[in-house]
């Protein structure tokens, strides 16, 4: 077993000129590593190639978010792990967070915001309002790695959203200025008492699903540090909007891009409830994220919804709706609408079938009069579809 503990400063860096505020905060990161299980990987396509053996390793992560100044409190906690070895599969993630000043208080669960072959991102929140309080977050991440990997490099980053009393509208996002690197030797041998195999993440079966695609408007205007902050705010808004719609984040299938995200939402949704809540959540959390940002740093999104029969292929999702949702997101109609309405934090585009099934019936208080009918065209992709665009404005 290897053990490492490193203290890092979390700072707020919102200004477009790269300057930071004085809201510094120390977080202590600790990572332990132990062998969980060992098993052969799935047989490869070429039968003459010997199957590669793999081992399952449990990464124990502990982060202590230290006390804040008296009038500040933690709203949400975040951490991200990126692995320095190709061919790593994240198998399972669990964890919790607890207020250190109240050891008898309830533990809050760790939620997964993103997961891929390069790493995993998680968050905890919303948190109890305790000014000046500190939090301890622990998580266990089980990964499957090639058996011949002797050393694992992990880039870990801790972040937090904080707010000042008496209201939650004075917000800051604090983060380490750079990831903390842990280099951990992998345990050898086999467990003394093999545990039951942790189930792999199951590939969803073919079914009708609601798909969401979102993109940051004008992402290329950001320099690298600004882009990183915009990406984090973007992911935070989408996760919180899905939670606002009461979606089980563990059943949301995500594909990430630098300035965008594609999500296949859980099956068997009541769209008359989920879609209005998603729209409301996007408006609410985008407004909150942008409340103290200037026009340069302000986050504006293009968002598209579509529904259809989808299935998982060898290199991603397959189905007409998975293509159509991206065509709607990229069409000139939604780009022009957002450009012509600078007061809007986001523009939403939905196909005519979703409008007729859900929007037109005023479900969830979503007013169909706030939607304008357009023809979405992408001539280069031979795509034409009737659609509707919604443009909420900041109140």
The mean of the pLDDT values for the chain is: 78
* Alpha-carbon distance values, 307 to 25, 148, 180, 215, 343 (Å): 44, 43, 41, 18, 29
Alpha helices in the chain (DSSP H): 224-244, 271-290, 320-330, 332-340, 352-357
Q: Does position 194 have pLDDT exceeding 50, yes or no?
A: no
CA dist 275 and 375 (Å) reads 21
pLDDT for 27-46, tens place per residue? 566 666 555 543 334 434 33
pTM given for the model: 0.54
Q: Which residues contact 266 (CB under 8 A, 6 or more apart)?
A: 209, 247, 248, 251, 252
User: Do the Cβ atoms of 377 and 384 come closer than 8 Å?
Assistant: yes
The mean pLDDT of 138-160, rounded to a whole number, is 82
pLDDT, tens digit, 9 for 90 and up, residues 75-91: 888 888 888 666 677 87
Residue 16 has pLDDT above 50, yes or no: no
Query: What domains are defined for the chain?
Result: 2-185 (2.60.40), 207-390 (3.30.70.1230)
Strands 207-216 and 301-313: antiparallel
Asked whether the predicted pLDDT for residue 121 surpasses 70, the reply is yes
Q: What pLDDT score was predicted for residue 164? A: 76
Average pLDDT rounded to a whole number, residues 382-391: 95
pLDDT for 172 equals 74
Which pLDDT belongs to residue 58? Answer: 83
Q: Per-residue confidence at 111, pLDDT binned at 50, 70, 90?
A: confident
Encoded tokens for 20:
């930071």
pLDDT tens sequence across 198-246: 333 444 456 889 999 999 998 888 887 788 888 888 988 999 999 999 9
Indicate the SS3 state at residue 197: coil
pLDDT of amino acid 169: 52
Q: How much of the chain exceeds pLDDT 70, in percent?
A: 75
Question: What confidence score (pLDDT) does residue 35 get?
Answer: 53
Averaged over 268-297, what is the pLDDT? 91
Q: Residue 360's pLDDT band (boundaries 50, 70, 90)? A: very high
């Amino acid at each position: 077993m290897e053990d490492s503990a490193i203290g890092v400063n979390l700072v707020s860096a919102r200004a477009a000129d790269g300057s930071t505020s004085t809201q510094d905060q120390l977080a202590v990161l600790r990572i332990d590593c132990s062998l969980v299980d060992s098993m052969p990987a799935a047989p490869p396509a070429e039968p003459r190639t010997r199957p590669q053996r793999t081992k399952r390793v449990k990464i124990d992560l502990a982060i202590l978010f230290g006390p804040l100044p008296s009038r500040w409190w933690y709203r949400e906690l975040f951490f991200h792990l990126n692995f320095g070895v190709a061919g790593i599969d994240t198998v399972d993630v669990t964890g919790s967070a607890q207020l250190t000043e109240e050891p008898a208080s309830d533990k809050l669960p760790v939620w997964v915001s993103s997961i891929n072959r390069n790493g995993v991102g998680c968050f905890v929140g919303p948190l109890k309002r305790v000014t000046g309080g500190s939090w301890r977050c622990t998580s266990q991440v089980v990964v499957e790695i090639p058996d011949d990997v002797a050393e694992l490099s992990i880039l870990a980053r801790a972040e937090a959203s904080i707010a000042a009393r008496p209201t939650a509208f004075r917000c800051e996002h604090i983060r380490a200025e750079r990831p903390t690197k842990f280099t951990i030797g992998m345990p050898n041998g086999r467990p003394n008492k093999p545990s039951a195999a942790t189930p792999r993440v199951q590939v969803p079966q073919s079914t009708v699903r609601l798909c969401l695609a979102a993109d940051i408007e004008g992402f290329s205007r950001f320099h690298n540090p600004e882009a990183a902050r915009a990406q984090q705010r973007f992911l935070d808004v989408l996760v919180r909007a899905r939670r606002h719609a009461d979606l089980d984040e563990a059943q949301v299938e995500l594909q990430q891009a630098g300035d965008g995200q594609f999500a296949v939402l859980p099956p068997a949704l009541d769209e008359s409830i989920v879609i209005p809540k998603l729209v409301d959540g996007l408006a609410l959390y985008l407004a909150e994220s942008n409340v103290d940002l200037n026009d340069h740093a302000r986050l504006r999104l293009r968002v598209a919804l579509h529904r259809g029969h989808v299935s998982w292929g060898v290199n991603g999702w397959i189905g007409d709706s998975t293509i159509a949702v991206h065509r709607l997101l990229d069409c000139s109609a939604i780009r022009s609408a957002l450009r012509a309405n600078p007061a809007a934090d986001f523009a939403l585009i939905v196909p005519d079938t979703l409008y007729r099934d859900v929007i037109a019936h005023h479900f969830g208080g979503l007013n169909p009069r706030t939607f304008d009918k357009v023809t979405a065209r992408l001539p280069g992709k031979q795509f034409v579809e009737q659609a509707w665009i919604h443009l909420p404005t900041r109140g």
